[in-house]
């Protein structure tokens, strides 16, 4: 990669988030297609990177692309271009499915290219946008060679029917819905276990403690467990160890977790939010359930827990579906085409 890249992808948030995860997995793939680097704190060493101070002093010999995914990053792009006089074409990707604030709309109007991760998100931008859906790296997210051996490595029961729900522990993600569906279904299904992974922020501590109390009262603390925030490599292995994934979110911008699970050969249940309706083939690679509806979730969960053969067939179909329609290479190529268009403008 040349010392002065053509595309900068900022990541101005130190802790892991959905946007940060997008940058971490996408930039190395795009770097095989165009000279791109990420900038910002907290990125792992495998991501091509340029210090932010150096970005501010890039030569003005040619145009480059500044690809923002947050308000702060759009604002910084404007500062770089209009105050520091760096030659950046400004681009923004939005996953939000809600009306934007006045300040966000002001920032969006100053972008030269807009991308939305779903058609629904595009509808809230109030300007033409190209839809580029997220993909996953099917070489990283793939079925394990030996699931029983993997579970032994992770300290998980090799004989369990293992259900997973990954993401921050909060009401928005529907963690309470899956917990209560488990409390309803697990007493009659001794093989089933549920694991949650994800950070519990201080403002969600009381929410999590309340669920843990309900689990203890039911005597299911060994079968419904919260594993906390896991390192990336361990998170991938936990996906691979699952029999079923559940994403019961009440709201979601895009929602990559069902796609990551399906790439690992795991069928997924998702609520009708974010991009889940476009990602999950209802009845074939998993199920879609009504948002916020405990009964709908419990019914779908029971169906997949009670039919080992159907789960296995859906897992195979899920992997094939991701390989055919949601590879990270397709996402990377679509974004690089937009970069090249911006760079070619007079």
At 152 the pLDDT is 96
pLDDT at 43: 84
Residue 267 DSSP symbol: -
What pLDDT does 264 receive? 98
For 38, other C-beta atoms within 10 Å of its C-beta total: 24
So what's the pLDDT on residue 1? 44
Sequence-separated (6 or more) residues with CB below 8 Å from residue 307: none
What is the CATH T-level fold of the domain 147-325, as seen in this structure? Rossmann fold (3.40.50)
User: Do 135 and 330 form a contact (C-beta atoms < 8 A)?
Assistant: yes
Q: Is 324 exposed, middle or buried (0-12, 13-18, 19+ CB in 10 A)?
A: exposed
Which ranges of the chain have pLDDT less than 50? 1
Instruction: Give residue 3's pLDDT.
Output: 61
Both tokens of residue 205?
């501590």
Strand partners for 67: 91
Distances (CA, A) of 4 to 55, 56, 144, 202, 309: 9, 12, 39, 41, 53
pLDDT of res. 78: 98
Domains 7-135+327-344 and 147-325 share a fold: yes
pLDDT at residue 229, rounded to an integer? 93
Is the distance from CB of 191 to CB of 275 less than 8 angstroms? no
Residues 39 and 51: beta-carbon distance below 8 Å:
yes
Q: How far apart (Å, rounded) are the C-alpha atoms in residues 276 and 291?
A: 11
Q: What is the CATH number of domain 7-135+327-344?
A: 3.40.50.2000
The residues spanned by each domain of the chain are 7-135+327-344, 147-325
Beta strands in the chain (DSSP E): 7-10, 36-39, 64-68, 88-94, 113-116, 130-131, 161-166, 192-197, 224-226, 244-247, 268-271, 286-289
Q: Quick one: three-class SS letters along 75-136?
A: HHHHHHHHHCCCCEEEEEEECCCCCCCHHHHHHHHCCCEEEECCHHHHHCCCCCCEECCCCE
């Amino acid at each position: 990669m040349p010392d002065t890249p053509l595309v900068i992808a900022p990541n101005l948030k130190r802790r892991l988030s959905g946007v940060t995860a997008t940058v971490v997995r996408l930039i190395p793939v795009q770097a095989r297609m165009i000279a791109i680097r990420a900038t910002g704190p907290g990125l792992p060493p495998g991501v091509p990177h340029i210090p932010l101070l150096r970005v501010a002093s890039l030569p003005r010999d040619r145009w480059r692309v500044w690809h923002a995914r947050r308000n702060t990053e759009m604002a910084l792009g404007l500062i770089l271009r209009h105050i520091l006089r760096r030659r950046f074409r400004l681009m923004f990707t939005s996953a939000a499915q809600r009306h934007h604030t006045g300040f966000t709309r002001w920032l969006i109007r100053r972008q030269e290219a807009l991308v939305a991760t779903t058609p629904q998100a595009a509808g809230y931008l109030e300007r033409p946008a190209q839809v580029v859906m997220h993909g996953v790296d099917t070489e990283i997210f793939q079925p394990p060679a030996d699931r029983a051996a993997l579970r032994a490595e992770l300290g998980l029961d090799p004989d369990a029917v293992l259900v997973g729900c990954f993401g921050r522990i909060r009401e928005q993600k529907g963690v309470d819905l899956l917990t209560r569906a488990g409390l309803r279904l697990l007493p009659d299904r001794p093989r089933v276990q549920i694991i949650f992974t994800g950070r519990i922020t201080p403002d969600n501590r009381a929410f999590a403690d309340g669920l843990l109390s309900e689990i203890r009262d039911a005597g299911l603390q060994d079968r419904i467990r919260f594993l906390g925030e896991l390192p990336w490599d361990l998170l991938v292995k936990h996906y691979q160890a699952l029999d079923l994934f559940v994403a019961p979110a009440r709201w979601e911008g895009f929602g990559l977790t069902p796609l990551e699970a399906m790439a690992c050969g795991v069928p997924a249940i998702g609520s009708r939010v974010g991009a889940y309706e476009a990602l999950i083939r209802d009845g074939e690679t998993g199920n879609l359930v009504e948002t916020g509806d405990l009964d709908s979730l419990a019914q779908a969960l029971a169906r997949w827990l009670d039919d080992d053969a159907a789960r296995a067939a859906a897992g195979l179909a899920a992997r094939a579906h991701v390989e055919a329609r949601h590879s990270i290479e397709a996402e990377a190529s679509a974004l690089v085409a937009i970069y090249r268009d911006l760079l070619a403008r007079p």
